[in-house]
A and B are shown apart, each in its own frame.
Chain A
Amino acid sequence: MTGYLIRRVVQAIIVVLGVTLVVFLLSHLIPGGQARAALGPRANHAQIIAFNHANGYDQPLLVQYWRYITGLVAGNLGYSYKNNQGVAALIMNRIPKTLALVGVSTLLALLIALPLGMAQAVRRNSGFDYSMTAVTFVLYATPAFLIGELSIIFFSFTLGWLPSSVPSDASSLAIFTNPLAFVLPVVTLAALTIAAFSRYMRSSVLDALTGDYIRTARAKGASPRRVLYGHAMRNALLPILTLIGLSLPAIVGGALITEVVFNYPGMGLLTVQAAQNIDIPLVLGTTLVATVATVGGSLLADVLYAAADPRIRLGNS
């Protein structure tokens, strides 16, 4: 297992470096480059040249990339001229907010979706199953902005129960100054993921319940509860673990639409802003975070899978 982990970590580092290199090179192909994006339509040729020189953008690309990588090793992710802040500071400010939003909503979605999927599987083809399938399909098919706006109209403007936006202070803890404001964005985001998780869970449990080992367990007199929780659920959770692992990038990558609707400045918005502004250090910073999360999530899924299924551990060893 240790050797397996080391191999995966080395692979992950290579992938991360590769992604940063590709993004670095692609971002420098944008017409006008960073100088034009930073200085705007008033910039004259001399100002553009001066900006590029001052920021080292007139150096060969590989030199610039090398400086970026050595800076990374020293913990310096660069400086965002558009935000007048360090990239690391910007990301560290946004990640806790995004983790809170997407993390809590994912947790909420799992808490609802897993039992729901199991119940649907156990009572398959019943009225309950059909109605829950319809509800989850509707949620799955509804765009996030529509759920968000409708929930604001109903819960904020009509009933007046919940705020329509989240406290906007820069502090990562600002959301805790008004937890009520956190409800609508969390529920909106959870509504979208409940459908996916519950459908996976339903299929997975259905699949598990037809297994020979379930028939054997029943034949040996195991109680229905034991069959369901002791045998079917553990096996059914395996594909869900992969799904959870792969949702890690989303947890740090942000939820753009929800952030836009609820005035929630998270990682999703930061990433899009960076790309729109051709803010190359920030583009690289957010890409780095997303890449690490993707690779880390994939690694985590594999580890969880191995932990949940002894056959995988044995196979690898």
Chain B
Amino acid sequence: MWKNFRKVLLSTVATSAVTTGALAVLPASHAGAATPTQVTWAEAPQTPPNYIFPFMPLQYFSVSNINNFQLLMYRPLYWFGNGTTPNLNPKLSLAEQPSYSNGGKAVTINLKSYKWSNGESVTSRDVVFWMNMMHADKENWADYSEGAMPDDIASITVNSPTKLTFNLKSPVNSYWFTYNELSQITPMPIAWDKTSDGAAAGSGKCSSATFGSADKACDDVFTYLSRASGFDPTNPKSDNNAMATYATNPLWQVVDGPWKLSKFDSSGNVTMIPNKAYSGPSKPKFQKFIELPFTSDAAEFNALVAGKVDVGYLPTAQVTSPASSPFKPGANNARLSSYTLDPLYTWSINYFPYNFQSTGNHGNAGKIFSQLYFRQAFQSLVNQPLYIEKIFKGYGIPTYGPVPAYPTNNFISSFAKKNPYPYSVSRARQLLASHGWKIQPKGTSTCVRPGTKANQCGKGIPKGAKLDFALEYASGGTALPQEMNAEKSSWAQVGINVTITGASFNTVLGNAVPCTAGPSCTWQLENWGGGWVFAPDYYPTGEAIFQTNAGSNSGSYSDKVSDAKIVATTVRNVPLTDYQNYLAKQLPVVFQPNPVTSLTEIKKGLKGVLPQSPLYSINPEDWHY
């Protein structure tokens, strides 16, 4: 019996083995290894590009769509990111630096001699095409905010095919207008000015109209181009298959950038080939630039170890040696000996908001947050250098105010470069005790001297009110939970009891919305872990995040002095010094250390990748072996 059974068993196992073996011996068709004629670049996990038309609504406004995809094909009027700085890059811009006249109310732009890949020149009409579309469909432009472009433009004068003048309704700060308004413009080819596949270029009548005079025509063109990109403005929920046509649709083959799309699929596999007609300063050296999608950090790391990626990133979990300073990386992971490690810090600040309107903590949270002494004490217990060293393994930069101190830039003031509120438990204790709080280390401090005098708790804070708060943070990563626990322990030293709760990024983001004091406005502190990235508003003014009633002023911070200083930075040629020094002292938010954005891994021998742009952009046309 057993003999027969063994035979059957062996035959069954053999069948299984043959099946497995058959899979194993089949030849590989593509090893995926890079050759000198192509270069591969790793996309961030699960964020493949999925929108090609540069004029896009907010849901498609992402680094993967803009900086890592569209900008390679369609160049903006002004390119920002010059070396390691966020400054305007004259070399890569399609126009000479703008000149301001008429007391800051007229802006003249002279275009350089760039060509589209279909042989046509990049002209003033292409700029007007964009501006007319912005006028017609500003609610569908991701970066639109009320009162800003195009609302602040009275007219546009086309002086010649290479020169045009923007006439503004009121004077502006030239830095602000160049860095935050002109930065939004991407000239569009006349080949896109139509409303159906078979129509003639320019038949849409959007590019040829004077500024603001062809809203209906431009809206039709916008609808056509958006549909070709996958979004139907007239029926946002409609299904379509536009992404499958990105690489074949003739529309998207008209480019003025160094690359043209050759292959594209919805999984994020992108292949670009050089635009032979590219008239910019640096021509592509590789025959192909390939973007590779990944499902996870682990999968990307495995691809690096296998040498399948030329430029990728080191997942933070795989960091084996701490950095001696933020810009001097430690030894690379031993399994990546054929790569060079380079940290990238983006043009951003990190913070989380107080909700100044919060009725949490028995109605006291917002009132306590409104006290400057409390915010000073709270911030004094955030030990940024320690968290950078211990939690971020040295790969992080501190945030002390509303202007990023790093990467090196001309906008930061000498005052804001240093921490106005360095870590100090004794200072925090003194601040609270001198304002009427009975300190209970490791417990919950209480207000014992209510009132509005200098040594009392402050307006609206009753006797017995507790320093007891709730903080929700995005718990998806590993660093932020550690950081929140560390800060909780730190605050507890002076009896500020913060109950921390992890939630998904989107939940935190969903809760951190401006609200008016009332029964439903109870959130107190929300940390999504990202703060604010200054792009495409590269001039780090605060009108979007700190001005009263600004759309992204999550915690409803409101201060008349601050508002005046913010407005001044947009309408007059004043430096940011006053504004940033004031807000660095006022602490409208809880400033947090800013972890490294990417630990970029570059295959040894590949040149031209460094320095990395702090604005996320990549320039593979500069890369070569």
Contacts and interface: CB of A to CB of B under 8 A. Distances in A.
Interface of A: 30-33, 36-47, 50-51, 54-56, 76, 78-79, 81-86, 88-90, 93, 108, 111-112, 114-116, 118-119, 122-123, 145, 149, 152, 156-157, 161-165, 167-171, 177-183, 186-187, 223-225, 227-229, 259-265, 269, 273, 276-278, 281
Contact of B552 (A44, A93, A164, A263): A44
Given A39-B59, A224-B2, A276-B504, A31 B510 contact: yes
Interface in B517-575: 528, 530, 532, 544, 550-552, 554
B23 A186 contact: yes
Majority-rule SS of A interface residues = helix
Contact of A273 (B46, B142, B302): B46
Contact of A261 (B298, B335, B530): B298
B146 A41 contact: no
A81 B302 contact: no
Given A42-B552, A84-B51, A170-B267, A32 B303 contact: no
Contacts, number: 220
Contacts of A181: 28
B50 to A, nearest CB: 4
B20 interface: yes
A51 B59 contact: yes
Nearest to A174: B267
Given A41-B528, A45-B551, A162-B24, A265 B5 contact: no
Contacts of B511: 31-32
Contact of B306 (A56, A90, A164, A179): A164
B1 interface: yes
Interface string B83-119: 0000000000000000000000000000000000000
A76 B239 contact: yes
Contacts of A93: 266
23 contacts: A31-B507, A32-B506, A32-B509, A33-B510, A36-B506, A36-B509, A39-B59, A40-B509, A41-B528, A45-B514, A50-B139, A54-B233, A85-B239, A93-B266, A157-B335, A170-B269, A224-B4, A228-B1, A260-B295, A260-B296, A261-B302, A277-B506, A281-B237
B13 interface: yes
Contact of A169 (B269, B510, B513): B269
A41 B58 contact: no
Given A36-B513, A51-B59, A183 B139 contact: no
Contacts of B23: 179-180, 182-183, 186
B514 A119 contact: no
B47 to A, nearest CB: 10
B236 A81 contact: yes
Given A223-B1, A224-B1, A118 B9 contact: yes
B235 to A, nearest CB: 9
A183 B509 contact: no
Given A40-B58, A157-B305, A112 B13 contact: yes
B46 A108 contact: no
B267 A42 contact: no
A259 B15 contact: no
Nearest 5 interchain pairs by C-beta: A32-B510, A44-B551, A224-B1, A86-B239, A170-B265
A65 to B, nearest CB: 14
A163 B9 CA distance: 31
Residue among B51, B233, B237, B242 with the highest chain A CB neighbour number at 10 A = B237
A43 B551 contact: yes
B563 to A, nearest CB: 17
B20 A183 contact: yes
Nearest to B60: A84
A74 B13 CA distance: 47
A267 B478 CA distance: 25
